[in-house]
Amino acid sequence: MANVVANSDDFFSYTSGRWVWGEEEQLQERYCRFDILELQKAAMRSESAASCVGMEKLGEGSYNKSFRLTMASGKVLVARIPNPNAGPAFLTTASEVATMDFLGNILHLPVPKVLAWNSSTDSENRVGAEYIIMEHAPGKNLADVWSDMDLDRKVQTMKDIVDIQRKLLSVRFSRYGCLFYNKDAPLGSHPATVKGDELSHDLKTNIANQFSIGSVIDTSFWHKERKHMDIDRTSAVDYIQAISLREIAWIQNYATPRSPDDPFFTSHSQNNPAEHISLLQRYLSVSPYLLPHEDDLLGSFLWHTDLRIPNIFVDDNGNITSIIDWQSTWAGPLFLEARHPHFLNYNGDLTLELPKIFKQLDGSTQIAVRSKVIKSILSFLYEKNTAQRNPALSRVFQYPNGVLMTDPVRFAGNTWDGDILPLRESLIRVQK
């Protein structure tokens, strides 16, 4: 028997924040109604459980909601349901499941095991929404324990990150795009042909027989009317130009300027479609020069671009037990995808040992100095270990003007709904 849940509308709605503009639209993009009892039954079947005795919202982001489901046996599962704004229907869930399968069973990375899933919303899916049911990540969430971990355990977590990135770099794809099972791949997809010194011929053949590379399902290519537009979503220079071509086409056809009396009117340049189009065309003209010529830095690799501590689980010794949130992961150019994990990224002056006068400092200053030293050590060791074990990644980090070159790519996709200034300023820096 499944468990009835009170206040069920909270399960369908986004409840973690508010908006000062367009709130109704924002909430609608994050509202997804589904059959709660049928989701519980699907979880019960996946675990051969007699009943589901509890269900609670575990967390939610801009593009999905996660729920903790407790079986009568005490087993805890996680159900994940994408919001309408997560990306293309069917493909978003299908790609996430295939990617997690590839990561877990081909690369042997610590990711949750998928127990059941459905990417359709037809009558055969009694839940009434796309869903993924997976094992609960073992260990403790790093966000809950990082501040209390000693340096040795933090170093162990850092070493595991380096090892995980080494495994991601061990398989290079022949194309850019998202991963799908062959049976779910959209039209225009290709068998997942891969290279890797550690891959046997049989494994390469197995990968091509099971997986395909298809459309990039990043939400920026599918938001609002963009999902109906004929845009190249599969191609390094082609890909970064597709970002601008997409936005130019959308602005020409759908952008609606605000009245100067509108309280959310910001500036005439922000509100002028011609200004955006002109700037995006300037971006197009410099785009071939925003990428390096070295082939290995443009190689196609699966990559987790959001390695924040809430997405990482560890054991009591700091060993990583699971990494979550692989939605919209794609095999893209390493030069554009690679970045320091948030919790290992330190841009201050390196201080690798406590000063001799440390004991004479007051308490609050000691805390600040100790924190700086720990961040410095972790950053130094991460860079050192990366250079030794993942030299291509280290070259991306050390590439001259790397941030300067990639900033325009990151800012080009959201000038109208976001802000035109970051792209303009990044192009000025490039042209200098």
Per-position pLDDT tens, the chain of length 432: 555 555 678 999 999 888 877 888 889 999 999 999 999 999 999 999 999 999 999 989 889 999 999 999 999 999 999 999 998 899 999 999 999 999 999 999 999 999 999 999 888 899 999 999 999 999 999 999 999 999 999 999 999 999 999 999 999 999 999 999 999 999 989 999 999 988 999 999 999 999 999 988 877 777 776 766 666 555 567 888 988 998 999 999 999 998 888 887 888 889 999 999 999 999 999 999 999 989 889 999 999 999 999 999 999 999 999 999 999 999 999 999 999 999 999 999 999 999 999 999 999 999 999 999 999 999 999 999 999 999 999 999 999 999 999 999 999 988 998 889 999 999 999 987
Alpha-carbon torsion angle 25, 417, 273, 423, nearest 10: -170
Angle between helices 421-431 and 273-286 (to 10 degrees): 30
Provide the β-strand partners of residue 28.
none
Q: Look up residue 262 and give its DSSP letter.
A: S
Please identify which residue in the block is written with the tokens 């995006």: 280
Q: Domain spans of the chain?
A: 9-137, 237-290+405-431
pTM: 0.92
Please check whether the domain covering 9-137 is classified as CATH 3.30.700.30. no
- What are the structure tokens assigned to 3, written together? 């468990």
